[in-house]
Amino acid sequence: MSDTHAQTVAFVRETQIPPAPPPTMETGAIKWVRENLFSGWANTLLTLVSIYFIYQLATFVLPWVLNGVWNTSSLSECRDVLQGVTGGCFSVLTDRWNQLLFGFQYPSEFYWRPSLAFVLLFLAAAPVLFFDLPRKLLIFTGLYPFIAYWLIWGGTILAPILALLGFVVGYFVFQRFVKESFAMGFFGAIVAAFLTWWLGGYVVDAVASEDTLLTAVPSRDMGGFMLNMILGTVCVSLSLPFGILLALGRQSDMPIIKWICVVFIEFIRGVPLITLLFVANVVLAYFLPPGTTFDLILRVIIMITMFASAYIAEVIRGGLAALPKGQYEAADSLGLDYPQAMRLIILPQALKISIPGIVNVAVGLFKDTTLVSVISMFDLVGMIRGPILASTDWNGVYWELFSFAALLFFIVCYGISQYSQWLERRLATDHR
């Protein structure tokens, strides 16, 4: 058998050919480049054009960043160092670093206070954002607003304690009456909380001593990125519950509640945010009784929160409308009352659908906080446009400052966006 072909065929291979490596054109980076970048004459052309543009951009940006000057104290000094070579004067960032972050009026010896509040923010936000964490951490989240307020504003510790007390009293009243009727518990809690604050206000005014553990810092001294963070965090976290209430109110069968919500949402959505801010800043001063002091940051927070709640309400209404009617009927058939049905069945699903929209509003809102610079508050952009660009030292530095502002905002907004994508994947229990 073995020599069957011995005379007819010159050579018979008797072993298997060892596997050869694939042709170099068909493997690894080369294959990827060929398939993705040079797969045809049109794509080749586009690739070359893109490389040219990237090259141009890099030759422009890289020397500017790499040659950057970081340790001069004025623009003219920086230009002397550069001697006409391309390079950024990043020393404006080091020179005015604290001003960019905290504003120019916040006492420098207290910078640790907002910094600590910022660090604690992550601790407080973690259990809300990542629900795998132990639920006991939520206690700290509940206390955080009061701790942060006390850290940033300082003053008597009794004020935040009183504010907390109001919420606690409200909670107990709610627990006491909610069994009889939800509305009774809800409004009873509000009345009780306000009563506590009102009575406590007198006590605190009487008791509070002048020398406090943390020196009080007036609102007018807040500034820089800290102000953006305060406004962004407070307004986003407040506007979410208000938005949910408004969305539910708009769907309510009770005509007065429904119309109040509709009018509020449509009015606020129909007015530019900047108008509301001007109202908060200048017009309110005419309406308030003489001698009234009403914190400017508080006014701005109220206005931005109103604005954001209206938008979030519409986003959530979209989520509610997207739920099949069967879900509502299922809740009814289980014998759940309205709050239970909403809390246990409708809202968890509606909110999940609304996540991209809510995040969209949150990101937009955070960037909108820079609008306060037009009502002479010194947020990050206000600091740049006002004091820093107007100083004799740094007049004429634009790219470095605004790039820095863009970078800070990008980090935060990209973080929010990444979190929301993780959250969507995590909650993906849907019908796909």
Partner 1 sequence: MKKTVFYGALAAATIAGGVASAATLDDVKARGTLNCGVTTGLIGFAAPDSNGNWEGFDVAVCRAVAAAVLGDANAVEFIPTTGKTRFTALASGEIDMLARNTTWTFSRDVDLKFEFVGINYYDGQGFIVPRELGVTSAKELDGATVCVQTGTTTELNLADFFRINNISYEPVPIETNAEGQQQYLAGSCDAYTTDASGLAATRAAFENPGDHIILPEIISKEPLGPLVRHGDNEWGDIVRWTLNALIAAEEYGVTSANIDELSQGTDNPEINRLLGSAGTLGEMLGLDAEWAQRALKVGGNYGEIFERNIGENTPIGLARGLNAQWTEGGLLYAPPFR
Tell me if 162 contacts partner 1 by CB under 8 A: yes
Query: Which amino acid appears at position 127 of this protein?
Result: P
Q: Which two tokens stand for residue 291?
A: 């001698």
At its nearest, how many Å lie between partner 1 and the CB of residue 208?
9
Identify which range of 54-62, 101-109, 310-318, 354-362 contacts partner 1 by CB under 8 A.
101-109
At its nearest, how many Å lie between partner 1 and the CB of residue 396?
3
Nearest in space to 370 (alpha carbons), one of 386, 390, 355: 386
- Among residues 72, 88, 91, 95, the one that binds partner 1 under rule CB under 8 A: 95
User: Quick one: CA dihedral 86, 87, 89, 93, positive or negative?
Assistant: positive
Q: Which of residues 358-387 bind partner 1 (CB under 8 A)?
A: 374-376, 378, 382, 385-387
Nearest in space to 378 (alpha carbons), one of 120, 96, 117, 72: 96
Tell me if 249 contacts partner 1 by CB under 8 A: no
At its nearest, how many Å lie between partner 1 and the CB of residue 119?
22
Do the Cβ atoms of 221 and 107 come closer than 8 Å?
yes
With tokens 């759940």, the residue in question is 336
Identify which range of 42-50, 121-129, 217-225, 329-337 contacts partner 1 by CB under 8 A.
217-225
Identify which range of 4-12, 42-50, 192-200, 259-267 contacts partner 1 by CB under 8 A.
192-200
Q: Which of residues 321-360 bind partner 1 (CB under 8 A)?
A: none
Whole-angstrom Cα distance, residue 249 to residue 231?
A: 26
Identify which range of 150-158, 327-335, 340-348, 406-414 contacts partner 1 by CB under 8 A.
150-158
Nearer Cβ to partner 1 (219/327): 219
At its nearest, how many Å lie between partner 1 and the CB of residue 224?
11
Nearest in space to 407 (alpha carbons), one of 377, 384, 376, 373: 384
Q: Which of residues 272-301 bind partner 1 (CB under 8 A)?
A: 278, 281-283, 285-286, 288, 290-296, 298
Nearer Cβ to partner 1 (172/259): 172
Nearer Cβ to partner 1 (289/326): 289
Tell me if 220 contacts partner 1 by CB under 8 A: yes
Query: Which amino acid appears at position 233 of this protein?
Result: T
Query: If you write DSSP's letter for every residue of 33-62 in order, what string do you get?
Result: HHHHTSSSHHHHHHHHHHHHHHHHHHHHHH
- Among residues 32, 60, 130, 198, the one that binds partner 1 under rule CB under 8 A: 198
**Rounded alpha-carbon distances, angstroms, from residue 244 to 247, 309, 341:** 5, 8, 14
Whole-angstrom Cα distance, residue 88 to residue 67?
A: 7
Alpha helices in 14-137 (DSSP H): 28-36, 41-66, 75-82, 91-95, 97-102, 112-129
First to last CA, the chain: 61
- Among residues 393, 400, 405, 409, the one that binds partner 1 under rule CB under 8 A: 393
Whole-angstrom Cα distance, residue 76 to residue 67?
A: 16
Question: 3-state class of 155 per DSSP?
Answer: strand
According to DSSP, the residues that pair with 224 across neighbouring strands are 379
Nearer Cβ to partner 1 (98/175): 98
Alpha helices in 251-342 (DSSP H): 255-269, 273-278, 284-287, 296-322, 325-333, 338-341
Nearer Cβ to partner 1 (182/242): 242
- Judged by CB under 8 A, the number of residues near partner 1 is 61
Q: Which of residues 395-414 bind partner 1 (CB under 8 A)?
A: 395-396, 398
Tell me if 188 contacts partner 1 by CB under 8 A: no
Nearer Cβ to partner 1 (314/393): 393
Question: 3-state class of 214 per DSSP?
Answer: strand
- Among residues 81, 245, 389, 412, the one that binds partner 1 under rule CB under 8 A: 389
- Among residues 69, 93, 124, 163, the one that binds partner 1 under rule CB under 8 A: 163
Q: Which two tokens stand for residue 397?
A: 């530095």
Q: Return residues touching partner 1 (CB under 8 A).
A: 75-76, 79, 95-96, 99, 104-105, 108, 153-155, 159, 162-163, 166, 194, 197-198, 200-202, 204-205, 216-220, 278, 281-283, 285-286, 288, 290-296, 298, 374-376, 378, 382, 385-393, 395-396, 398
